[in-house]
Every structure is written in C-alpha cells, then in structure tokens.
Amino acid sequence: MRAQDSGAAPARLKDVAEAAGVSIKTVSNVVNGSVPVAAKTRARVEQAIEQLGYQPNVMARRLRTGRSGVIALAFPELPSPYFAELAVEVIAAARRHGCTVLMDDTGGDPAAELRIASGLGDPMIDGVILSPLGLDQAELVARERPIPLVLLGEADMGPVADRVHIDNVTAARDATRHLVEQGYRRIAAIGWQDPSPRATAQQRLQGYLEALAEARVQPDPVLFPPVRSYFRPDGAAAMRRLLKLPERPDAVFCFNDLLALGAMRAVHEAGLRVPQDIALVGFDDVEEAEYAIPSLTTIAPDKAKIAELAVSLLLERIANGESGAGQRLTPGYRLVVRESSVRPG
C-alpha cells in the first residue's frame, strides 16, 4: 500500500473511482460486495484502493447499508508463524474488499471459539473467519448469534458453515512419497497426538501411512512418537526420542515446519547432519523454512488463495444472508523441495 503524505486528507470513494477509471457507484459495489462486478473492473478498483490506502467510513457504511464492513478473524495459535502469515493474507484480502479485520487468539479454547463464532456479542461485526480447534458441531449449531461464518482448517463441522481447507491427506502423502522417491525407507513422522485434539494430526498421519503402504514399507509405531503441541521444543523432544532408538530413522516427515525446525536442532546437537544422516520434510512453508540451514523442504499451502476464498465466501454470506448449506473449497498447495530432503549424490 502506498503511504499517504503526512497531513493529507484521507482518500475518498471519488478518488478511488478516478484512479480506477470507473464510477463512484462501481467502487461502492466493490467495497460493499452488494452487486456483482466484472473481474477486471474489480481488480482495477482493488488496485486503486491499495494504492490510495482508502479506508471506508464504518459508521457511514453502517447507516447506509446496515453493515459495518468489520469482520473478525481468530486463530488458535497466533504465535505460530503459519497463522501469523495467513492473518496477513486475510487482512490484505479484506482490505481489497474495503473491510476492516479485528483479530483474536482463542488458544484452542472451545468457549473462546464459540464466543468468536457468535460475533463476540458485538453488533458491529458483520461476520467471522475462524480456525477452530476445540469447538464441536453441536456447539456451533447452538451458538447464541448465528452470524455469517467461514471456517478455516481441518475441523469438519458438516454443512453448518462454509469451510476453506487444503487436502491434508494428499499433501502429507506427497511429502512422504518425496522421501520414498529419494530412497529413504525408515521414515518417521513427528506430529501425532494421542488422543488427538487435532484433525490435522489424524489427516497428516493418514497421508504418511498411505505413502508408506504405496511403497510397501511396513509402518513402525515407534517411528511416530506423540507430541504435546506443534512448536519447536516439541519437535526437538520427539527427534531426541527417535535418535535413541536402536535403529534410528533415515528420514522424518514433520506435521508442521516448527516441529521440523526443532527436529533439525536436535539432529545438530547429536552431531549428525541434515540431510546426510537424516532427511527432513516440514509442512506450512513459513518464511523461516527458506532461511534455515539447511533450507527446509516443505508443503506450501496457497495462503493467499485460502485468504481470498475465505473473505469472498464470508462477504457473499453477509450480502445474501445466512442461508443454504455450507460450501467446502479446497485451494491448492505445492511441495517445495529444498536442501533438507535431497539425498546427497
């Protein structure tokens, strides 16, 4: 976004219209999401909004349309780089649609998630984007204020709300298959939780096991030790346990990048090298993965697409009312191959 000159008057709808070469009504339609606008025209308007730093007047919009343009966004672990990076993308996508985002961290607490899903009891919030961890479907159905809601992530709440998520099973299978194709056979997995509060753990373990079965590799339960959480210390602790096995793994698929980075540290502390002694693959493609030494091979979800789909779905619900079964949209991902997994020649 272009910074405005100090003391300059805030950009107006008229300024955006002139910059985009459209009518003020067209800009209003894009900002409010009330009338469909051609994709090319919308792109020009959104570019002008970014360049001018246009911010809609919330109170004026509320009086005019009955909507504030304020949406809430909540994640279970904001300290996680993945959620922080995704939040940046959601805020950018919302801004392109002329919306303001309020953020919260639920810590995975069901009560906090339910409060968010009910709009925090704030009539100024038009809708919510939520990544739930502890909330269940019955609680969601019975929420106090059923405002428009889009869910992110693996938790399947049925038709209660729209959901945007990548195919975790297929992505985990691709990550593990990559290690198989590099010639590794004793492949461990770090990220299982038993009992698991996370659909993430279940789905990524499933993909890992499917890849092993495809390669006719017998899974060994000692090779997927449970973890408490998904941060660096948990990855390091799990790797230390794996290194104490009579026959240590030659490769490890980690269910997120933080686990992989912690595991990499434990390998280094043991006097071993990645990938010469143990190969590593992560999941999420956080910025740190590219700059680790060695750089980390990882699954890269399309965070920008996830954000754009979530915001678009939410604004569609806000404009049309809360009706119809929830949609499920599955944006893509890439396997980004870096230094940590390629078998030395």
Q: Summarize pLDDT for 181-240 with one digit per residue, the tens.
A: 999 999 999 999 876 557 889 999 999 999 999 999 999 999 999 999 999 999 999 999
pLDDT band for 57, please (50, 70, 90 cuts): low
Asked if the domains at 64-166+302-334 and 168-301 fall in one CATH topology, the answer is yes
pLDDT band for 1, please (50, 70, 90 cuts): very low
pLDDT band for 32, please (50, 70, 90 cuts): low
Predicted confidence at residue 161, as pLDDT, reads 86
Mean pLDDT of the region 54-62: 56
Asked if omega into 79 is within 30° of 0 (cis), the reply is no
Cα(56)–Cα(27) distance, integer angstroms: 11
Cα(345)–Cα(339) distance, integer angstroms: 12
pLDDT band for 4, please (50, 70, 90 cuts): very low
CATH number of 64-166+302-334: 3.40.50.2300
Domain ranges of the chain: 64-166+302-334, 168-301
Whole-angstrom CA distances from 172 to 131, 211, 264, 278 are 20, 8, 19, 18
Specify the higher pLDDT residue, 7 or 2. Answer: 7
Cα(214)–Cα(118) distance, integer angstroms: 44
Architecture field, domain 168-301: 3-Layer(aba) Sandwich (3.40)
Cα(265)–Cα(5) distance, integer angstroms: 46
CB burial readout 260-273, b (16+ within 10 A) else e: bbbbbbbbeeeeee
